[in-house]
Amino acid sequence: MQRFWRISLIVLAVVAAFAATGLGVAYTFGAFTEAGRFSAAPDCAVLDVSAVAAVVPAAKVETDGANCTAGDGKTQLNVGFTVVPKKGTVGGPELASRYLEVTSGTDGEPLDGVGDQAVRQRVRAIGQPQIITMRVSNLIVVLSVANLGGGELPAAADTGLVEVAKTLAVNLNR
């Protein structure tokens, strides 16, 4: 009987060693890494037309691949989507978060309540462009608005761009 328990214990130890090795290999290849919610960029239908109209009245939304443009000839709103896939043992949402931390720099203004992570940058350039970069899971969304004529942005563009970003984040989280 004692021999039976020794053999059972040895078999159990060998099986546990193989299982631990298998789990280690699976972890190394990223089997347990979160990919994120998005495998492809969404289409422009996720944009709320009423929110866009607050920034660019009478805007016509056009699609070009993973980019959406809404303009009225004077002011233009652009929205671009980038899906961040997992790499090895680092998940897509984590990589997207790291990207935003690196690219937001010190001049970025954090925005609460917009996606999982959002930063607004006010660029000093012709047309006074404003850019909001946000993350929803493993999707990076870049929204920008600029005056195509080179002048100042309409007053509604300042708060309107944030509202577009908020409604877009809500739509993406559905």
What Rg value do the Cα atoms of the chain yield, rounded? Answer: 24
pLDDT at position 169 is 94
pLDDT at position 85 is 92
Tens digit of pLDDT for each residue in 34-88? 778 999 999 888 988 888 888 888 778 888 877 999 988 888 999 999 999 988 8
Which has the higher per-residue pLDDT, 57 or 11?
57
pLDDT over 90 (residue 172): yes
Tens digit of pLDDT for each residue in 102-159? 887 667 888 888 888 999 988 777 767 889 999 999 999 999 998 888 888 887 787 8
pLDDT over 80 (residue 12): no
pLDDT at position 107 is 75
